[in-house]
Amino acid sequence: MELVLGLIILLFSAILHEIAHGYVADRLGDPTARLSGRLTLNPKSHIDPFMSILFPLLLLLSGSPIIFGAAKPVPIDPFNLKEGRKDIALVALAGPLTNIMAAIVASFVLRLLNLSFVADAIPYTLFNFLVMFFVLVMNYNLLLAIFNLIPIPPLDGSKVFALILPEREANMYLALESIGMFIIFFLLLFPLGPFSLGSLIFRLFSFSQGLLLP
């Protein structure tokens, strides 16, 4: 049950992530996501066969210590944005920040559940379910935020990192987007010397989790 619930939470957390991208883009002058019907919680509008289903399953079957996925990216037309690369970076940051906010809200609810008068008022079975649910919400949103802030194209962190590069170098760097997911998958499965992407994500996740857990 926990695995199925976790996958559902992961999917909707990824959907919120993408809606945040589209909403901020809309506010900054690009209505593409809104006009495409992507500012909705309906999973049919967001499920990506590879990132929403196949990628999490590959990580699970390969024994990866980190399991995550993503929804289909919302369409963004950078030519509609008012301030070019700056606005692109703001749109990119909106997704991870939304996941961080969701994790903080889940942490707050867990702290409320830990209050004795609240715990005593809730049936034991329901209490355990609520704790499991909000722990999963917190964990998966933290993982999504950390993963997406990695500065490897096409992840959101790359759009922010590109902001500090000269335009020519930034374009060359972002051109790695077509092979970026294969690079990420390779780094997750095969450490390069002392560097392990999976271990780095896990350490950042453990640190963030320690800050938020009651």
Choosing from 18, 83, 169, 177, the catalytic residue is: 18
18 is catalytic: yes
CA distances 12 to 112, 120, 181, Å, are 23, 30, 21
DSSP the chain: -HHHHHHHHHHHHHHHHHHHHHHHHHHTT--HHHHTT-SS--GGGT--IIIIIIHHHHHHHHT-S-----PPPPP--GGGSTTHHHHHHHHHHHHHHHHHHHHHHHHHHHHHHTSHHHHHHS-HHHHHHHHHHHHHHHHHHHHHHHHHTSSSTTSHHHHHHHTTS-HHHHHHHHTTHHHHHHHHHHHHHS-BTTB-HHHHHHHHHHHHHHHH--
- Helices 197-212 + 177-189 axis angle, to 10: 80
| Alpha-carbon span 112 to 118, nearest angstrom | 7
**Catalytic positions, please?**
18
